[in-house]
Amino acid sequence: MSARRRVLIVEDETLIGFLLEEMVQDLGYEVAGVMSRLDQAMAAAPDSFDMAILDVQLHGLQVFPFADRLAAQGTPFAFATGNGGNGIPEAYRGAILLQKPFQQESLSWVLGQLAAQRTTQ
């Protein structure tokens, strides 16, 4: 990886956010930010990150409006969820999922898939 990809983490559980941040950095990516609320994510500058990991539920709100924005911009993202594909709208049934609880190997695979999507765009 010649240029470090910037990953936005959207996660409302503080410990999981810290864990993701550390793992993302350990895997050689740059953390563009860790946000815990939908309004923070919606306000993020589109050019400040290359891809995103999105917790499906943020303090009782679903992250899908932000996912819609990312999809419209062509920014790759994955959903982090403990429910598998349950609760993911039909429009996102093919999205990459990071199953909670996760290991660094699964996060590495997810980030590799997102980086490949970014490269082919």
- Which of these ranges, 24-38, 72-86, 97-111, has the smallest mean pLDDT? 72-86
Residue 2 has pLDDT above 60, yes or no: no
- Domain limits, the chain: 6-119
pLDDT tens digit sequence for 17-74 = 999 999 999 999 999 999 999 999 999 998 999 999 999 999 999 999 999 999 999 9
Give backbone dihedrals phi and psi of 63, rounded to 5 degrees, phi first: -85, 0
Percent of the chain with pLDDT over 90: 85
Closest CA to 65 of 99, 83, 85, 39: 39
Total number of residues shown for the chain: 121
Residue 77 has pLDDT above 70, yes or no: yes
Q: State how far the Cα of 21 lies from the Cα of 31, in Å rounded to an integer.
A: 6
Locate 78 and state its tokens: 């994955």
Question: Quick one: pLDDT band at residue 1, thresholds 50, 70, 90?
Answer: very low
The runs of H, that is alpha helices, within the chain are: 14-26, 38-42, 64-73, 104-119
Q: Give the count of beta carbons closer than 10 Å to the beta carbon of residue 22.
A: 12
Please state the CATH superfamily assignment of the domain spanning residues 6-119 in this structure: Response regulator (3.40.50.2300)
Q: What is the pTM of this model?
A: 0.93
Given this model, what pLDDT does residue 55 score? Answer: 96
